[in-house]
Structure 1
Amino acid sequence: MNKTKFLTQAAMIAAIYVVLVEVFKPFSYGIMQVRIAEVLTVMPYFTPAAVPGLTVGVIISNIIGPYGVLDIVVGSLATLIAAYFTYKMRKKILAPLPPIIVNAIIIGLMLYYIFLGSPDETPLLAIMGWVALGQTIVCYGLGYPFMLILDKYKNNIF
């Protein structure tokens, strides 16, 4: 893949991610989040450009988001790790799994830290479970069907 195509794909993925987070903002943050933009986390299965694209999209979204520097750094790192593992995944049915597992652990820990000491303090495993549930809804409920559609047109898109 040439540099121009790679950069164009990465930029488009980042832009679409940010737009989806903003359009669905009420669902994009919190302990129980169903971040619709995470549907794009399956794209590294098809193109390596999605790895930086998703990472930049998350950085921008988290700059705009409510949790500050911690989310910008930790959230972006979680996305980079998950996107890399999705890129390395060769079984299509398993491609949505890395964002679910990585976000459940890393974002779960981050949210636990953020909400630590709040009056309705939620246990760590419960937060991780809620993050995993939200990710599963998006990554398998929307992301896997999205993969099946992309698979039909991958030669024309990627």
Structure 2
Amino acid sequence: MQQNFTKKLVRTALIAAIYATLTLILAPISYGAVQFRVSEMLMLLAFINPVYITGLTIGCLIANILGGLGLLDIIFGTLATFLSALAMYQTSKLIKNRNLALIVASLWPTIFNGLIVGWVVSISASLPLLITMLQVGFGEFVVITIVGVPVFKLLEKTELKEIL
């Protein structure tokens, strides 16, 4: 029992650290109206196992505290990540066709972040709401669906599948 808890705790901390570090290292493209948060590819881990939801959420929280758009981003940007990860995991359970489920799951961050983070960026930077939502959603779609899904499928074919 203790070993299982320790394993989950380590995974959570590792994912949080990787997410936050990637976001901060790539800060120029991780924040703003047009953002390509490479760390968001890690969101696909929520498709595999709900234990990753906490690590992704904490990683996003840390990244938003250290480099985000202030309190709104800390609260609502983190909420968008949590809702996206939760929806991704639920999608993996609801849709039986794994490839279709992966594609559908990859769209949740586009939707949640496009709406929620787009709203935050619009308010924080005094930018037009609809355009900002579309820009944030576009960045999420590119990073997760266009780039992340193929990378995820490649990794599933390797020995890393056993680690995940």
Q: Normalized against structure 2, the TM-score is what?
A: 0.87
Determine whether 1:151 maps to 2:153: no
Q: For the Cα contact (< 8 Å) 1:78–1:106, is it kept in 2?
A: yes
Distance 1:98 1:154 in 2: 24
Distance 1:18 1:94 in 2: 25
Q: Percent identity?
A: 39
In the TM superposition, residue 52 of structure 1 has moved relative to its aligned partner by 0.5
Q: For the Cα contact (< 8 Å) 1:18–1:58, is it kept in 2?
A: yes
Greater Cα shift, 148-157 or 78-87: 148-157
Encode CA deviations 1:51-110: one digit per residue, 9 max, x unaligned.
Answer: 000100011101111412211111111111000001111212222111111000100111
Number of residue equivalences: 153
Distance 2:33 2:54 in 1: 25
Q: For the Cα contact (< 8 Å) 2:24–2:67, is it kept in 1?
A: no
Q: Which runs of 5+ in 1 are unaligned?
A: 117-121
Q: Normalized against structure 1, the TM-score is what?
A: 0.90
Aligned to 1:82: 84
Provide the alpha-carbon RMSD of the alignment: 1.6
Q: For the Cα contact (< 8 Å) 2:84–2:112, is it kept in 1?
A: yes
1:46 alignment partner, one of 43, 48, 57: 48
Higher helix fraction (1 or 2): 2
Runs of 4+ displaced beyond 3 Å: none
Q: Which runs of 5+ in 2 are unaligned?
A: 93-100
1:18 alignment partner, one of 17, 20, 23: 20
Distance 1:138 1:32 in 2: 12
Structure 2 residue matching 1:112: 3-state secondary structure: helix
In the TM superposition, residue 138 of structure 1 has moved relative to its aligned partner by 0.3
Aligned to 1:4: 6
In the TM superposition, residue 14 of structure 1 has moved relative to its aligned partner by 0.6
Q: For the Cα contact (< 8 Å) 1:46–1:154, is it kept in 2?
A: no
